[in-house]
């Protein structure tokens, strides 16, 4: 796969990326492997857009550490956070949070929780989400440290469920019947109402095109919940999951790069851009 085509001439690069298992290590959640390359991306002024299931609070930790000030997409497309003044023109947004304009795509977390509780009451099912767990329980389940587990609980647009295998077939159809959507990311199920990584990517692409003119978009992910994002970019990239395999994703033009998680991520960036990270 190469950028030496009609998209590359005089076009500016914009990178959309998943975090866990892509830019970040799938087990330690560390950016150590990618940090040097990310620093080069930031230094060159190339927009690096986080597009992840992680909450705003979680993503802000990595953004501060890496010196990233670009917009970011939270909770599988629940909302887009944009620093005030980032785009030098007016655009629609739903609310202001601190220094951010927030474009909201999903319904609010309390409403999701209420619908899940109603499913549980009606059908006498046990549905366990992050809102029902302690930070210590979340840390044990996910491998996050305790501080990060607390940030993962600061949910605004999506609930993360831990479902027992025996309950999955009975619970998921009822979630859909309640007007919610679900996706699977690793061992957890994300439940939301209207969240869409693809729509969020599409909206930001339009804003960047208005700001920068001609652009070429790269998207990097590792799981099926990244498919909506990957479908919206010029150059969709899938990195390998632990065990050296790729997620089963059917998408034209998909570039399956060799390398698990961050190692595949760095290889893809180096092959698709002129950035070396050295």
Least Cα distance to 232 among 211, 205, 212, 207 occurs for 205
DSSP assignments along 91-115, one per residue = ---SEEETTEEEEE-S--HHHHHHH
Question: What is the Cα–Cα distance from 119 to 255, expressed in whole angstroms?
Answer: 40
Number of H helices, E strands in the chain: 9, 12
Side by side, the strands of the sheet bearing 158-161 are 158-161, 188-192, 181-185
Is 18 marked active-site?
yes
Catalytic residue among 18, 196, 226, 234: 18
Q: H/E element holding 172? A: helix 165-177
**Separation between Cα atoms, residue 59 and residue 272, nearest integer Å:** 25
Decide: residue 78, CB within 10 A, 0-12 exposed, 13-18 middle, 19+ buried. Answer: buried
Active site residues: 18
């Amino acid at each position: 796969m190469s950028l030496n085509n009609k998209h590359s001439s005089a076009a500016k690069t914009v990178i959309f990326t998943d975090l866990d298992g892509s830019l970040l290590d799938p087990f330690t959640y560390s950016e150590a492997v990618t940090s040097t390359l990310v620093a080069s991306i930031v230094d060159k002024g190339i927009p690096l857009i986080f597009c992840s299931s992680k909450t705003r609070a979680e993503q802000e930790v990595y953004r501060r550490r890496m010196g990233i000030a670009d917009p970011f997409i939270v909770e599988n497309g629940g909302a887009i956070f944009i620093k005030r003044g980032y785009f030098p023109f007016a655009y629609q947004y739903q609310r202001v949070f601190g220094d951010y304009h927030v474009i909201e795509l999903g319904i609010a977390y309390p409403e999701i929780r209420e619908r899940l509780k109603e499913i549980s009451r009606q059908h006498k099912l046990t549905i366990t989400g992050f809102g029902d767990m302690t930070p210590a329980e979340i840390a044990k389940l996910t491998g996050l440290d305790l501080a990060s587990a607390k940030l993962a609980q600061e949910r605004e647009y999506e609930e993360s469920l831990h479902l027992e295998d025996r309950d999955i077939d009975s619970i998921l159809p009822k979630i859909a019947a309640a007007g919610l959507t679900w996706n699977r990311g690793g061992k957890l199920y994300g439940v939301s109402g209207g969240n869409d990584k693809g729509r969020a990517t599409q909206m930001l692409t339009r804003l960047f095109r208005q700001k920068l003119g001609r652009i070429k978009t790269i998207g990097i992910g590792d799981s099926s919940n990244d498919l909506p994002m990957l479908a919206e970019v010029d150059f969709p990239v899938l990195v390998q999951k632990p065990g050296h395999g790729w997620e089963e994703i059917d998408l034209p033009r998909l570039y399956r790069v060799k390398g698990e998680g961050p190692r595949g991520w760095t290889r893809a960036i180096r092959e698709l851009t002129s950035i070396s990270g050295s």
